[in-house]
Amino acid sequence: MSYNLAPLQNLIDQFERMQGIGNKTAQRMAFYILSLSDDEANAFAQAITDAHTKIKQCKICCDLADDELCPVCKDGSRDRSVICVVEDPRDVAAIERTHEYNGMYHVLHGAISPMDNIGPDQIRIKELIARLSDGEVEEIIMATNPTVEGEATAMYISRLLKPMGITISRLAYGVPVGADLEYADEITLSRAIKGRSLI
């Protein structure tokens, strides 16, 4: 469905380009914009420009940052001997929410996926290697996603780093807390059995 008002149709098209947003939702969003006051609409447009111009990648860990360094890399109280390697900035936010981890991060911005033409050079592996040169880092925790691509990336990086004498660990697999055993898939369950611990 299209509107014959160019500015409206253009806005709908912009929203529709987002992944997971269909034509109806894009229309609803465009009409939401029209319903805003002038100030609100300007603030919205400004938020887009701001986010885009002010947010860069941290020089150390490649996480998103509004400065040279991200808040974690700036924080002097964090344990610089551990680096947790994740695929995406959202994963950093997820781990931070646990309040269980006090080390550093490294964001790969993707995972190795030959199907999508993403090789080791397309993600931030070089930057990770560069961080290990001063010998301060003792452990790398691989926290890539538990998918084929995430596994392959974790495996690739661990083989690369093994010769450097750094401890490399992987997030535990198992049944999610609060889930129903009945609905756990076979692979997760078999990993949970293998990784069982004494109580």
Give dist(CA 80, CA 60) in Å, integer. 12
Check binding of 14 to a copy of itself (CB under 8 A): yes
Among 7, 22, 119, 120, binds a copy of itself (CB under 8 A): 7
Check binding of 165 to a copy of itself (CB under 8 A): no
Element (H, E) at 169: strand 167-170
Among 61, 65, 83, 142, binds a copy of itself (CB under 8 A): 65
Nearer to a copy of itself by Cβ, of 11 and 112: the residue is 11
Nearer to a copy of itself by Cβ, of 25 and 188: the residue is 25
* Cβ contacts of 30 within 8 Å, gap of 6 or more: 8, 11, 12, 15
Dihedral sign of CA atoms 6, 12, 13, 15 in order: positive
CA angle (81, 83, 87) in 5-degree steps: 175
Which residues lie across from 105 on neighbouring strands? 84
Among 16, 69, 71, 146, binds a copy of itself (CB under 8 A): 71
What residues line the site for a copy of itself (CB under 8 A)?
Answer: 1, 3-8, 10-11, 13-14, 18-21, 25, 27-34, 36, 38, 41-55, 64-66, 71, 89-90, 93-94, 97
